[in-house]
Amino acid sequence: MFRFLHAADTHIDSPLEGLDAYDGAPVAALRGATRAAFENLVRLALDEKVDFLLLAGDIYDGDWKDFSTGLFFTRQMARLGAAGIPVYMVAGNHDATSVLTLHLTPPDNVHVFSTRVAESKKVEGLPVAIHGRGFPQRAVPENLALEYPSPLPGCFNIGLLHTSLTGAPGHDPYAPCSLADLAGKGYQYWALGHVHQPQVLARDPWVVYPGNLQGRHIREPGARGCRLVTVSDDLEVMAAEFRALDVARWARLELDIADVDALETVHARIGDELRRAASAAEDRLLAARIVLVGATNLHSALKRDLPGLRAECINQAQRVPDGIWIENVEVRTSPRQSLADLAARDELTRIVLETLDQAAAGELALPGEVRDLLKILTPELREGVEAELAPQQRADLLDDVRGILLSALERH
């Protein structure tokens, strides 16, 4: 029997997104989250005394700003080397040969697969053959799996591959292939990388995405980590256990407040939900997005004072013993009163409501002055402004404006 760890998409030194600082925010803990998660991976390998470690691409987040990123990786690999644990890795799109301009010689216990051709590597002392190929450049449109070598007889054969398979939401289509392509190679286990959501896609053969070690934004909620795989003496996978390694966890907390008529009750429910989520995070720092939904009489009041609502959410979070970071607060509620009845009240109200509906439907283009301004901005500034004026951002802003205007109309 032998055991190995399968990890991918560690993105060492990648920043965590969407976390604006405020008084009391745990900035230092978040800044080093990806390194801390990688240290947890190494500690797990040492504690479990695994036979080897697989890294299926995107070890780094892109070109290093300096050598500190590479030196950190070398230190961690040296810890494994001192314990006799070999490491096998392929480059992904974020650390492709053409992306990294700075390089350090890896420790002797680390084997980096070729980016030119698929190759095989036997694990010393074990009936294990690992087959892999890394990315020579960021975009790889070819099906790399088709050129992987034939399985070695009498061995537990592992395919180490960074791939989008047939496509995944939020991920670029790199090294595309199908499950049938993978099954056709005759390997027992495919150690994949690129898709950040942990998932087991098949068990005959095993096709596994371990997910990334550390969620980096609200689109990567829930536990993140690696797979601890146990293989029997007859070369059958006995278990592929998920092991959480993240130090900060993201959560989208949706609260239906349709039955609530007092702001104080909303605040209390937010506090209760934060305490529940903090407990579920198992002593990890929690980055939470609060989303209020439901048809409620409080719709206009909530939209009218978004800064106050955010401050109250932070206030509730700071009462929870475990660390919580309020990443964002969204009011996705709707008014309980009939907008048709409100529009029928007078002509001005009808015009206002119809204009808001047109804006929400995207019928109002950006003003000409704004378009002209965008043309004269530098590329860096233009990119930032265009991001702020993106359809979703405009829709959110218009929804806030709608709530404020509805509040004013209701009172008159």
Which of 4-8, 26-30, 151-155 shows the lowest mean pLDDT across its residues?
A: 26-30
pLDDT of amino acid 258: 93
Which of 20-29, 261-270, 286-295 shows the lowest mean pLDDT across its residues?
A: 20-29
In this structure, the answer to whether residues 306 and 273 fall within a common structural domain is: yes
pLDDT of amino acid 212: 97
**C-alpha span between 250 and 325 (Å, rounded):** 9
Which comes out higher in pLDDT, residue 188 or 390? 188
In this structure, the answer to whether residues 22 and 82 fall within a common structural domain is: yes
In this structure, the answer to whether residues 46 and 187 fall within a common structural domain is: yes
Per-residue confidence band for 353, with pLDDT thresholds at 50, 70 and 90: low
Percentage of the chain with pLDDT > 70? 77
User: Which of 165-174, 305-314, 385-394, 401-410 has maximum average pLDDT?
Assistant: 305-314
Residue 157: is its pLDDT beyond 90?
A: yes
Q: What is the DSSP string of 197-253?
A: S-EEEEETTEEEE---SS--STTS-S--EEEEEEE-TTS-EEEEEEEE--SEEEEEE
Per-residue confidence band for 17, with pLDDT thresholds at 50, 70 and 90: confident
Over residues 40-65, mean pLDDT: 94
- Token pair, residue 336, equals 């309980």
pLDDT of amino acid 119: 97
Q: How many domains does the chain have?
A: 3
**C-alpha span between 333 and 295 (Å, rounded):** 6
In this structure, the answer to whether residues 82 and 121 fall within a common structural domain is: yes
pLDDT of amino acid 64: 82
Q: What is the DSSP string of 362-378?
A: T-SPPPHHHHHHHHHS-
In this structure, the answer to whether residues 172 and 270 fall within a common structural domain is: no
Over residues 148-158, mean pLDDT: 97
Mean pLDDT score across all residues of the chain: 86
Domain final residue pick, 336, 359, 383: 336
Q: Are 219 and 83 in contact (CB under 8 A)?
A: no
pLDDT of amino acid 361: 60
In this structure, the answer to whether residues 187 and 271 fall within a common structural domain is: no
In this structure, the answer to whether residues 307 and 371 fall within a common structural domain is: no
**C-alpha span between 11 and 223 (Å, rounded):** 16
Residue 389's domain spans which residues? Answer: 339-412
Residue 304: is its pLDDT beyond 80?
A: yes
Domain final residue pick, 222, 244, 266: 244
| Nearest residue to 320 (alpha-carbon basis) of 287, 269, 278, 264 | 278
In this structure, the answer to whether residues 269 and 363 fall within a common structural domain is: no
In this structure, the answer to whether residues 265 and 240 fall within a common structural domain is: no
Domain final residue pick, 244, 278, 301: 244
In this structure, the answer to whether residues 203 and 78 fall within a common structural domain is: yes
Q: Are 299 and 256 in contact (CB under 8 A)?
A: no
Q: What is the pLDDT of residues 162-200, one digit of tens each?
A: 999 986 665 567 899 999 999 999 999 999 999 999 999
Over residues 351-363, mean pLDDT: 64
In this structure, the answer to whether residues 365 and 380 fall within a common structural domain is: yes
Per-residue confidence band for 402, with pLDDT thresholds at 50, 70 and 90: low
In this structure, the answer to whether residues 6 and 36 fall within a common structural domain is: yes
Who contacts 90 (Cβ-Cβ below 8 Å, separation ≥6)? 55, 56, 57, 112, 113, 132, 133, 134, 135, 160, 161, 162, 193
Q: How many CB atoms neighbour CB 280 within 10 A?
A: 13
Which of 12-16, 101-105, 267-271, 288-292 shows the lowest mean pLDDT across its residues?
A: 101-105
